[in-house]
Each structure stands twice: as structure tokens, then as C-alpha cells.
Structure 1
Amino acid sequence: MSDTQCAPRMIDLRLAPAAAATWGATWWATGHRAPWESIGACALLALACAASYSCSSRGRRAPRHALTPPGSIRLSLALLLACVACALAVGSVAGRQYDADPARRDSGPIHARVRLQTDPAPASSGFSATRHTHARIEAVAAGEEWIPSHATALVNAPGWDSGARGDIYEVWGSLDATFAADAPSVGTIRVRRSRLIERPGGPSAWMRSTHQAFARACSSLPRDARALVPGMAIGDDRGMPADLAQAMKTTSLTHLTAVSGSHIVIILATVTLVVPARKTLRLTATILVLGTILTLVGPEASVLRSVCVAAVAALGLILGRDGQSIAALCAVVIATLLIDPWAARSYGFALSVLAALAVVGPSSALIRRSRRRIRGDTRAGRTLRRVVEMVCVPALAELATAPLIVSLSGTVPVWGIIANVVAEPAVPIATIAGIAGALLAPLSIPVASACARVSSWATAWIAETARLCANLPGNGVAVPGGASTVVGIYACCCCGWLAWRAWARWGAPRIDESERIDESEMSAQE
């Protein structure tokens, strides 16, 4: 084992307080509208801390082996206050825009222009011609005048079989402000009549044709595969059967039908194996692949987070620099919240960030420790290493997201870890074959159908795993006290771990260096 493998890696947590403060400030500001005096005070304090750091570090040289420069606490505090000031400003502006939005009204008739944010999905019953989609309201008609709007809404419309993400429709219908009206949504628009105004071209047209061609390529597959293959390839899970959707939700496998960090890692690992080992070629291929994924799947918050974190890590490896994944995740969280402050109130974004934090944090640390402690020159050691790598990622991701899952459903997915471990070997095959079929669908439907067929073999394993684990006894166990109980247990564990680390560093009896030498000599003589 080389020294590089044995050497422990330093974890950069300097952006973690700023990310947590940005999230909390954005969440509060979107609901309470921070006064501008508080925002200005935070900005002035940030400037004061930055000026103090700049004056004290001028002409001072840091020690040769220092991990952080002198006065970095002041610099971190300046960054935290600056992020809080920006978060309060952006969140307050978004909240005031939502309060004054012309689409926010009582239930009644509405005439508006909407831009589709997702492809229209069929009704869950399967017998209705109505399709539902999430849309951003561009403008609301007030007589002969169009008033700009920034709100979103859930739209139910008949006959939108050919609709796609990015299309702009003029709709006439009724607004139900009591259903699906969590900010920034104003409710549900039930469309009586609609007219297509604009259908974007360029990358959006390529995305639309690719989705439609891949849907034709998957039309001959079994029922489960018609939903799972497009879902695992391009995040299109509109045709998911109700029983399979419930089984995957019960066993915590729903992340497989959305493009997440694991999908990005699998695709980039395949690119690394295929592309020659040249920095320029791999860098170009990585940028092209990530751009293609964003175009195919759509710039949703969870997808952007996965792509940005994977891009930072991949670029660090390609350029010969070991990327700090937790710092990259914190930077992506800060940027996402400042661009879209409503993401602070999104359960999906929170689940995505917590799962990613578990994967790049404690999971990777446990895998590195197992590689140092478990021998790799024997078959048993290699098998044990592989078992640790397969189990710790889904287990820690499950534990990290448990408070939110319990708060949403009130139950614990008992067999979720086992379901993820059993389904894991099929995920790379389903992802790679599916994305290959999606990219080849506009060129050749038969070739895309063959790739989709290969992917369906893997998705059949995943579907059977979900149904089998969902029917095992013990699923749906309710937690007494709900999410507060889980959070309390986590707080006790964290306090215990911190106390143990503090005792190991400052309270444990220290052994003199001479005693260590004597002990080593005695053991050598024995």
C-alpha cells in the first residue's frame, strides 16, 4: 500500500457555516421579509471583518506548513456575514414579489401566459385525457393589458399530448388557490381552452425530439421498463405505474428515477474509461457530457447540484488536483440558494443535498478507512472491502435523509438499505444503456430500442427488488414523536462523537516519546 493511499485527507469545512447560514437566512427571509436595516448591518459587518483581515495580514507571511492563513476566522466570518446579507436581500425581494404578484388572487377565472417547466404527464388513473405539469406564469391578462408575473402553478389541461418543457401557452381557465399553493406557487390552474404561442428551438428542440424518439423506442418494452428506462436515463418517469411508484417510495429507491449524483458519477466514470488519458480530451469530453445531461434532463435544482458537484470533483481529478467535495457542495448550495431562494423551502432539494453530503462526507471517509485497515492482497479482504463500499453509501444516505423522510411520511423505510444494496449492481447497466439509447434515438430507432432492451433487463431487477422489499414484514414502522425523535437521537450521537473527539485530543493520557521507543524495542525483541 502506497503512502498516498495511507495518508489521511484533510476535509475543508470552511464553507459549511456559510452554506448553513445562507440556507437559514434564505428560508426565513422568504417568509418574513427582512428589513433593509438588518441587511445593511450584515453587509457593513462583513466589510469590517474583511478590512480587519486585510490590514492585519498585510506584510505578514504565513508559516510554511500552515493549513490556513493567520486571521482566517475573521475572513470566514466576513464570508458568512456577506452570504447572510445576500441571502436576506434575495429572499426578501423574492417574498415581496410573490406577495405583490398579479397571479396571486382568490380562486376564480384566470387568463394567463404560462411556460411549461416539465413535460406534461398523464393522469394517475390513466383513463382521463387531462395532463398535468408545472409551469411558470409569464403574464396575467387584466382587460387588454398583460401584467408580468413571476409565480408558478400546477396546470391541468386536456389535450396536451404533444406539449414539452419550454413551450409557451395562452390559457383560459380557473384558478384554485387552495390546492398546491405553497410559495412560490399560486395554486392549480384548470385549463378549459389553450393556444400554443411559442415553441423554442435550438437545444430545446433537440431535447424535445430526443424525448419523443426515445419514448417511441421504449414503446415495445414491458410496462415497468417503459417508465424505469427513460426515468433512469433522462429523468422522465411520467409513465410510472402507481404500484411500482409506491413500492419504490416504500423502499427508498425513488432517487433512481431522477438524475442524481450517482448517475453523474457513473456516466463520468464511463467517459474516463473510453476517452484517452489526455487532459484536454477528457476535459472537453466532461464538459460536453455535463452540458448534454443538463439539456436532456432540464436545469432543475437537484440536477444542477449534482452536475456542479460532479463537475468540480471530475475537473479536480483531470487537472491533477484533489477536489474538496464538501467545499464544492457548500459552494453549489450557496450559489443555488442565491439564484433561486425558493429552493430553501424545497424538500427535494434538501433531500438531495443531505444525501450528497452523506456520500462525499462520512461515506467516503469510511471507504478510505476500510481501504487502510482491511487488507487488499487476499480474496477475503477484497470481498470485505467491496461489501463495505456497497453498504456504507446507501446506509449513510438513508440515515442522513431520515429526519426529512419521517417528517414527510411519518414512517421509516426499514428495508431501504437492503433494497439499495441489492439494486446497486443493476444501476450502472440501466444508466449507461439507457443514456446511449436516448442519444441514439433521433438517429436510429432500432438501435435505440436495442439499447433500451438491454437497460430493461437491469430495470426489471430493480423493479422486482422494490416490490419484494416493499412486501416484507416491518415496512411502514411509525416513529413515536415523528421527526423530532430522530433529530434528538442524531443530536445525542453528534454530541457524543464530539465529546469523544475532544477527550481523545485533550483529555486522553499522553504517552511520552521515550516510552513509545521503549515499547517498540521490547516488542521487536519479543
Structure 2
Amino acid sequence: MPLLGAAAWLGAIATQRSGTAAYAGLAVAAGLVWLLGPRLPPGRTRLLLAALLIAAAAVTGAVLRHDAVRGSPLRDFAAMRATAEVVGTVVSDPRAIQGRSGPQAVLRLRVREVTARDRHLRTGGTVVVIGVPGWNRAELGERVLARGRLTVSDDPGTAALLTGARDPVRIRGPDPWWRASAVVRASIRRAVAHRPPEQAGLVPALVDGDDAGLPPDIKQDFRTTGLTHLTAVSGTNLTLVVGSLLLVARAVGVRRRWLAVVGLAGIAGFILLARTEPSVLRAAVMGTVGLFAFGPDGRRRGLRALGVAVAGLVLVQPDLAVAAGFALSVLATAGIVLLGPPLSRALARWLPGGAAEAVAVPTAAQLACTPVIAGLSGEVSLVAIGANLLAGPAVAPATVLGLVGGLVGLVWPWAGRLCGTVAGWSVGWIVAVARHAAALPGAAIGWGSSAPAIGLLSLLCVLLAVALPRLVRHRTVGAALLALVVLVVLGVPGRLWSALVAGDWPPPGWVLVACDVGQGDALALAVGRRAAVVVDAGPDPRAVDGCLDRLGVERVPLVVLSHNLPRCTSRTTSSALPAVTRRHVSPSSRTTYRRSR
């Protein structure tokens, strides 16, 4: 099953990249199987033929889906930039954005009818609506009439964009299950509304992926520390929610097949709560794979379930094949299933069983995902494993109590606030871990996102995955590796290297330097030989003057003061700028002062 899942995934990727040319690759692969088939055992030949068949199915499904989108009349109207009336169903929650003309809202609409250029058609497809803030009141599942201008979309799975959309006209409200999920989501937000902003935003994100209220600085800290998966719907969320539901069911006497019914009901409820978008379906499937991996023979069962999940998701939704979230989910699950058990057994030789698993799971998942994360960000986080290890114990109580607070709050608001308070305390620890880890000198290192860089990183991760269980089997080696990681994260090697090569600063060919001027800003932008534009100067004239001396700057053709010019003139211009101009501005140059808002 893992091979069949990989075949479907590769087939869909090839189609997304090259279209119908993927059939040529299938033909070549079929020729190789035909040539090598007589030399292989019958079982291997059948397996390769099955892999080719499922890859062909994935290619065909992706081609048909893209042809359907390209052949949609919505594409024709979009090419003409036609003004249209669209009747459709809201299939995503609206998200507020700041556009060129002011606040706007973005959401997705599954089209049923379109009227444009004196033509009225019944059609399908999905459009992305970009409209006035009134769209923020649109509810998931309701049918609306939208008016705007259709334009071409770059997304192969989206038929068109509907821009400049005016306020929607409601035709029919959402179905009862969507109304129920909206009520629960609102109750979860109310249960933590009295907590600090970062806690009030993170609890809903953990429970159902609602991260609209999460402050931007927390999102950035989570990206730096490898905790971003907590702010989006992931398999971990489903595993925690459904696992808790199964524990309650067992406690009240539910057994055998009825436990499976309870589990399936929990999965369906989670999907409704977190929305039926592709990312949620992917997370639900991967969470189900995680549940399969528990118990006896978990490694074999987990790999089989993972193969089935990958093949099924790619066949149903081919666009997932090139989605970064899908790759991260698959790799994280595979890392936990493959590397988690041997690493946990190696650590258990000198650590308690629970502690060994707590270290092994985030290590395996992060190691498997590192190449993809580096390809997206160009960085490798050195604190991700430690941050996930420290934050992990607080994830389960925060998620479960946040959901319980939302459900109980529907009946007893005070009890919901009480659960929300405890959930807020739990996420407060996660926020503290993210902030402190992101502030460490060696939190992340630049790696690059080129193909050779990612290839080298992938090779290093594979070698480390093979060697790590053998290395950490012994307490001395494991403690030494841990100490080395801690030193790197604290930036000790970097500071030692800087001390050794301090005489070579600044580096040759420097372009932009941020001078350390204390409480303030000062930038030097190289514009020629021994010449630089100075942007701001800071409060201390000696600091910026010394920085320019060390840079070898002898001429400043332009000084820019970016803000607070009246106050800056009385303080900075009378102190720092004379020091700059006295020693670095040539008599023939002209100093210009610019004031910006």
C-alpha cells in the first residue's frame, strides 16, 4: 500500500507539472515493466502493474478535473472580464483582508448559476469572491447571489475570480449541521474571550483551526520554532478529539463495534466543526491513520493506512498532490510510523518510557518534514524539536478543554468560561515556549531553497534518521548530542566564530548594514566606493560615527530622516548629523533631508 500511495502521488504531481505529457512517462514505465517483468517474481510484477494502474488513474483524474475547469463557461466570461451575477453556495469562511481600496473579504463560492453578457447558464465550478466587508457576514453553507466582475484565476482548480463583489443577497440559509457547527465555534470563542489576545486566538486555532484572532507576532514565532502545525487543523487535533471521545465512551461501557461507530461519528463531527475544506479532510484522514498506528502491529497497520490515505486523497482531490500542507502531513505521519518506534526503543534504554516517546515523536516528525520546511522558508529551525517537546504536554489539555468549554458553554456559560480559563492557561505555556525559543540566537539558520540545497538536506536527514537510533542508544552519546544542540541553539558556536574572524568585518561587497546605535535605527546603504546613504542616525552621535568608520565610509551623498523630523531636528540633527557630516560628507556633496509620514 505505501508503494501504491506513492505511485498515485507521483502521477498526480506529474500531471500538475506537465499536464497530459504525464501519459508519456506512464508509457515509459509500462515499457520497463514489460521488459523486466519476466525476470521478476510474479508477485513483484503484479505489484508494479498495480502501481502503474493507480498512477494512471491519478493522472486521468487530474487531467479530467483540469479540463473541466478550463472548459467551464466561467473561464470564458473571466477572459472577457464580464460583469456577472453568480448564484452559489458558500464553501469557506470569509477572511478579512486589506486591499488597495480598503478593507475587503475573501471566500470561496461553489457556483450553481451564472448570468453574464445576456446569457443565463446552469454550471458548476468554484470561484473566489473578493468583495466588500459585507461578505464577512456570509455563513458557510448558505446560498447567495453575488454581483461583480469575473477575472482569470491562476489557480488551476479555481474557475475564476469574482472581484469588486457588492454585498451578497441571501437566498437560502445554511443546512442545520452547518448552523450547529457555527454555534459551537462561536461558543468556543466566547469561552476564551476574557483571556489575553494571544490565548483567546490560540485556543480556537487548536480546537478547530480558527486562527483569525491570532496576533501576527505569535504566528511569526510559531513559524520560527516549528509550531505552526498547532495553529492549523492537523491530524493531531483529530487524534486528540476523537481519542478523548473514545476514552469517554469506554468509560461508560461502550465496547467493540460500537466504539468504531463512536469514532466515525467523532471524525464526522470534527470535520463539520473544522470545515470541509481540503486541508481539513487531509488532516482528518491523517489523524485516522494515526489512530490505526496505535496498538499491536502498529507499524504495519500504520503504513498500510497511510498508503490507502494518500491514494484516496490524491484520487479524490488531485490538487493536494502539490500542496505543501499535504506533503508535511504525509511526511510527518510517515516519520512517526517509521522512525518513531526504533527511536523510542533506543531512548527507552536510559529514559523512562513516557519520556522516550515524548522525545521520539516530535523528533521523528520534524526530521521527516525538515526538507519541505526548508524549501518553503529557506531556513532550518534548530529549536523545533525542543519547542515541540516542551509545548507538547499542554496541547492535549488546551484542545480538549477548549472544545469542552465550547460545548458546555452552550448550556452553562459560566462553566464554559471556567474551562476556557484553564485552556487559556495551557496555551499560555505554549505561547511562552514559542516566544522564548524564537528569541534564541540560533533559533533558525539560513539554508536556501535551491534544488541542490534541498537535495543535500534530504540526504542528511535520511542519514540522521538511520544513525540516530544507534547513536542515542547509549546515555553518554545521547547526552553529548543534546548538549551540542543546546550550544548551537544558544548561539555559542556563532559567537566563537565571530570572535575568531572579527578582523575580517565588514565582509567584502557589503550592501546594507544596520548599525547598532542603541535605542534607535541607523542604516548604511552602499552606493559606491567608500560612499553610503545613511538612513536615520539614532540618539548617540558616537555610535553611528564609529559604525561608518568601521565600514570605511568617507562620503555620504544623502542622509534620510524617516520620521519625527521636528523632534529629530532638535535632537539628532544637532548632534549625530554634524558628527556624520563633519567627517564623512565631502564639500561637493549635497545633504538632502526627506520627511515621510
Shared fold (TM-score, shorter chain, > 0.5): yes
Q: Does 1:20 align with 2:6?
A: yes
Q: Distance in 2 between matches of 1:132 and 1:401?
A: 30
* Distance apart, 1:231 and its partner CA: 0.9
> 1:491 and 1:197, CA in 2 relative to 1: closer, same or farther beyond 3 A?
same
Q: Does the 8 Å contact 2:398/2:426 carry over to 1?
A: yes
- AA aligned opposite 2:333: A
* Distance apart, 1:462 and its partner CA: 1.0
SS in 1 for 2:382: coil
- AA aligned opposite 1:28: A
* Distance apart, 1:40 and its partner CA: 9.9
Instruction: Quote the residue 1:288 is aligned against.
Output: 265
Matches within 5 A, 1:303-322: 303-311=280-288, 314=291, 322=298
Q: Does the 8 Å contact 1:129/1:159 carry over to 2?
A: no
Instruction: Quote the residue 2:137 is aligned against.
Output: 162
* Distance apart, 1:141 and its partner CA: 2.1
Matches within 5 A, 1:214-253: 214-253=188-227
Q: For 1:445-502, what per-residue CA distance to the aligned partner results, in whole angstroms no more than 9, with x for missing partners?
A: 3222221111111111111221222222234532146453132242366489999xxx
Instruction: Quote the residue 1:335 is aligned against.
Output: 312
Q: Does 1:182 align with 2:158?
A: no
Higher relative contact order (CA 8 A, sep 6+): 1
* Distance apart, 1:430 and its partner CA: 0.3
Q: Does the 8 Å contact 2:107/2:130 carry over to 1?
A: yes
Which of the residues 479, 485, 499 maps onto 2:447?
479
- AA aligned opposite 1:362: L
Q: Distance in 2 between matches of 1:415 and 1:43?
A: 42
* Distance apart, 1:48 and its partner CA: 9.6
* Distance apart, 1:83 and its partner CA: 0.4
After TM superposition, the structure 1 stretch with the greater mean CA deviation from structure 2, 37-46 or 426-435, is: 37-46
> 1:38 and 1:129, CA in 2 relative to 1: closer, same or farther beyond 3 A?
closer
Q: Does the 8 Å contact 1:174/1:191 carry over to 2?
A: yes
Instruction: Quote the residue 1:397 is aligned against.
Output: 365
Equivalent residue pairs, number:
457
Which of the residues 52, 57, 80 maps onto 1:86?
57
> 1:235 and 1:36, CA in 2 relative to 1: closer, same or farther beyond 3 A?
closer
Q: Distance in 1 between matches of 2:367 and 2:213?
A: 30
> 1:283 and 1:470, CA in 2 relative to 1: closer, same or farther beyond 3 A?
same
* Distance apart, 1:93 and its partner CA: 0.5
> 1:466 and 1:187, CA in 2 relative to 1: closer, same or farther beyond 3 A?
farther
- AA aligned opposite 1:294: I
* Distance apart, 1:338 and its partner CA: 0.5
Q: For 1:52-80, what per-residue CA distance to the aligned partner results, in whole angstroms no more than 9, with x for missing partners?
A: 99xxxxxxxxxxxxxxxx73212211220
* Distance apart, 1:187 and its partner CA: 4.4
> 1:213 and 1:313, CA in 2 relative to 1: closer, same or farther beyond 3 A?
closer
- AA aligned opposite 1:163: A
> 1:475 and 1:39, CA in 2 relative to 1: closer, same or farther beyond 3 A?
closer
Matches within 5 A, 1:499-510: none
- AA aligned opposite 2:125: H
- AA aligned opposite 2:142: D
Unaligned stretches of 5+ in structure 2?
A: 468-597
Q: Distance in 2 between matches of 1:233 and 1:307?
A: 13
Q: Distance in 1 between matches of 2:231 and 2:138?
A: 21
Q: Distance in 2 between matches of 1:36 and 1:487?
A: 23
Instruction: Quote the residue 2:126 is aligned against.
Output: 151
Q: Does the 8 Å contact 1:138/1:148 carry over to 2?
A: yes
> 1:39 and 1:443, CA in 2 relative to 1: closer, same or farther beyond 3 A?
farther
Q: Distance in 2 between matches of 1:329 and 1:420?
A: 23
- AA aligned opposite 2:6: A
Matches within 5 A, 1:480-519: 480=448, 482=450, 484-491=452-459, 494=462
SS in 1 for 2:74: coil
Q: Does the 8 Å contact 2:134/2:167 carry over to 1?
A: no
Q: Does the 8 Å contact 1:124/1:242 carry over to 2?
A: no
Q: Does 1:411 align with 2:379?
A: yes
Q: Does the 8 Å contact 1:115/1:136 carry over to 2?
A: yes
Q: Does the 8 Å contact 1:302/1:352 carry over to 2?
A: no
Q: Does the 8 Å contact 1:266/1:428 carry over to 2?
A: yes
> 1:199 and 1:494, CA in 2 relative to 1: closer, same or farther beyond 3 A?
same
Q: Distance in 2 between matches of 1:204 and 1:488?
A: 47
* Distance apart, 1:272 and its partner CA: 4.2
SS in 2 for 1:443: coil
Mark the structure with the bigger radius of gyration.
Answer: 2
Matches within 5 A, 1:201-216: 201-216=175-190
Superposed CA RMSD in Å reads 3.6
Unaligned stretches of 5+ in structure 1?
A: 1-14, 54-69, 376-380, 500-526
Instruction: Quote the residue 2:324 is aligned against.
Output: 347
> 1:265 and 1:347, CA in 2 relative to 1: closer, same or farther beyond 3 A?
same
Q: Does the 8 Å contact 1:231/1:258 carry over to 2?
A: yes
Q: Distance in 2 between matches of 1:170 and 1:498?
A: 57
Q: Distance in 2 between matches of 1:493 and 1:239?
A: 35
Instruction: Quote the residue 1:363 is aligned against.
Output: 340
- AA aligned opposite 1:182: D
Q: For 1:336-382, what per-residue CA distance to the aligned partner results, in whole angstroms no more than 9, with x for missing partners?
A: 110111111211212221122112221233224444xx16xxxxx41
Instruction: Quote the residue 2:409 is aligned against.
Output: 441
Q: Does the 8 Å contact 2:148/2:162 carry over to 1?
A: no
